Amino acid sequence: MLFPLLAARGFRGVIDTFTGSGNLSDRIPDQGNRPWVSATGTISSNAARHTETLGAELATGNLVVGSIYQITATQADYFFTGCAINDYFQATATTALDANNKVKLLTQSTIETTANLGFSNGRYWGTPGTVGTGEIVGQIILSDGNNNFVRAVYSEGTGKLLVTKSVAGTFTTLINTAITYSAGAKLCLVHDKSEGKIWAFYNNATVGTAQVLTDASIINNTWYGILTTGTATVTAVDFKPSLNYIGVITGLRISSVDGSAFLDNASEITGLAAGNYMIDVYSATGRLSGYIKAAGTGVTYSDIVNGDTLNGNMETGDPPTGWTSYNGSTPTSVADERTGGAGIASLNMAYGTDQAVIWRNLGDFSGKLIYFGGWAKNIDATNVRIATFNPYKTTGSVGGGWEEVSTFVTCTGTNTAFSLIVSGTAGQQGRFDDVFFRQVLTPTTTGITIVSAEGGATENWADIDAAFTYNAASYVVFIRKE
């Protein structure tokens, strides 16, 4: 089990002294002034540590899944890849012990500090500090104080975050994923009882996927704690029982540019648009964070390429002016207006030495949500598509007649190219007409606008991780009231 330290959201107060033997030295003011309990926990300079107790050396029998051990002898990669003497780890298999591969069993209660939070549905953040070679650090939630709980442990030796559940002392692995450890980065667990799921996050990124958690012996438990070994520390905690929404949203559209920050295609959360809720959007590599301002009232655009603008209608020039050919492709103007079009011409492109591409360099659209597409016709090529580069995103390929295609992309590079592509073999052809590239300025009624402060007016995100992945198939969205 575990415990809080520094002042943070949900915990206002610093534990200046903490002694072992279960003595009370401070309480959790935001959760009913509840006490912390520990056998060996100490706090110095706002860093929590424990003094672990180890049993006798074991050289026979097998590891017990869920138990935590220190290695005293090992062959190469025997207990886990890269394992070394003095490493601590939580067993996930009943590995055999022998004269060459020995361990000492750690007494779990000597590395934990716990408190009864009084809630079992919400978010639990801990901030691990330094973790020395071979040490472990983590937190426990939803504990009954005995053998029913969820534990999240980072092991420096394995380099992985291991999330397990214990039901009557029988452990099941939920998540076992490599992470890049960074002292001071937050480890977060979220339990949504209504959904019957638990989530793990580290350093503002998702770790693994949501895991089903419906065990009656766990989901209503209210004890929380932290654990450390050796010189490993935890420097802060932050927990809230409020949980307004957490879920995976597929096909989410994101605008992260200052002055026009919003999410779209997110009907799951528009019902929370009037509450000044805080919202986090997690990818596998980072997070966007802000506050919900309002529901979208209708989409609006700024045309970059469309109709006469930058010759999107292909009516000017032969070959159409403003479009640059690449890979030896041969563009020409042909009298073949798209179905229902108002002009007389389209652009025909023949495959050259490689995939035929004709494009416009449009400049820096970083963070802007773009809606692009147009009309295309496949004469005899393998694929005929419309695409962007920086990042690369393409519409579907078209068949033999004129078809309108379109899609959305959030731009990520400073040099965005709008491209028309014909794939196949030498001489094969495709045609394009009335193509468009539009910045989306406001979301539809299935979207929400974002501001950087609660009750704010300027539509900016409060925090954007540089490593955040745009244009993912889905995102974990977490909404809460601070």
**Contacts of the segment 69-76: beta carbons below 8 A, 24+ positions apart:** 69/103, 69/104, 69/105, 69/106, 70/103, 70/104, 70/106, 71/102, 71/103, 71/134, 72/102, 72/103, 72/104, 73/99, 73/100, 73/101, 73/102, 74/100, 74/101, 74/102, 75/100, 75/101
Question: Using CA atoms, how far apart are residues 153 and 137, in angstroms rounded to an integer?
Answer: 6
- Amino acid sitting at position 211: Q
State the pLDDT at residue 235.
79
Q: Which of 119, 160, 89, 108 is nearest to 1 (CA)?
A: 108
Query: What pLDDT tens digit does each residue of the chain (482 aa) get?
Result: 333 332 222 222 223 232 222 222 344 444 444 556 666 666 554 556 678 899 999 999 999 999 999 999 999 999 999 999 999 999 999 999 999 999 999 998 888 888 888 889 988 988 888 899 999 999 999 999 889 999 999 999 999 999 999 999 999 999 999 999 998 899 999 999 989 999 999 999 999 999 999 999 999 999 998 899 988 888 777 778 877 899 999 999 999 999 999 999 999 999 999 878 999 999 999 999 999 999 999 999 999 999 999 999 999 999 999 999 988 888 999 999 999 999 999 999 999 878 888 999 999 999 999 999 999 999 999 999 999 998 999 999 999 899 999 999 999 988 999 999 999 998 999 999 999 999 999 999 999 999 999 989 999 999 999 999 999 999 999 998 86
- Half-sphere exposure (CA, 13 Å, Cβ side) for 406? 11
Q: What is the 3-class SS of the chain, one letter each residue?
A: CCCCCECECCECCCCCCCCCCCCCCCEEHHHCCEEEEECCCEEECCEEECCCCEEEEECCCECCCCCEEEEEECCCCCCCCCCCCCCEEECCCCCECECCEEEEEECHHHHEEEEECCCCCEEEEEEECCCCCCCEEEEEEEECCCCCEEEEEEECCCCEEEEEEEECCEEEEEEEEECCCCCCCCEEEEEECCCCEEEEEECCEECCCCEECCCCCCCCCCEEEEEECCCCCEEEEEEECCCCEEEEEECCEEEEECCEEEEECCCCCHHHCCCCCEEEEECCCCEEEEEEEEECCCCEEEEEEECCECCCCCCCCCCCCCCEEECCCEEEEECCCCCCCCCCCEEEEECCCCCEEEEEEEECCCCCEEEEEEEEEECCCCEEEEEEECCCEECCCCCCCCEEEEEEEECCCCCEEEEEEEECCCCCEEEEEEEEEEEEEECCCCCEEEECCCCCCCCCCCEECCCCCCCCCEEEEEEECC
State the pLDDT at residue 162.
97
State the pLDDT at residue 1.
36
Question: Using CA atoms, how far apart are residues 246 and 193, in angstroms rounded to an integer?
Answer: 11
Q: Kindly report the pTM of this predicted structure.
A: 0.83
| C-alpha triplet 249, 208, 52: angle, nearest 5° | 140
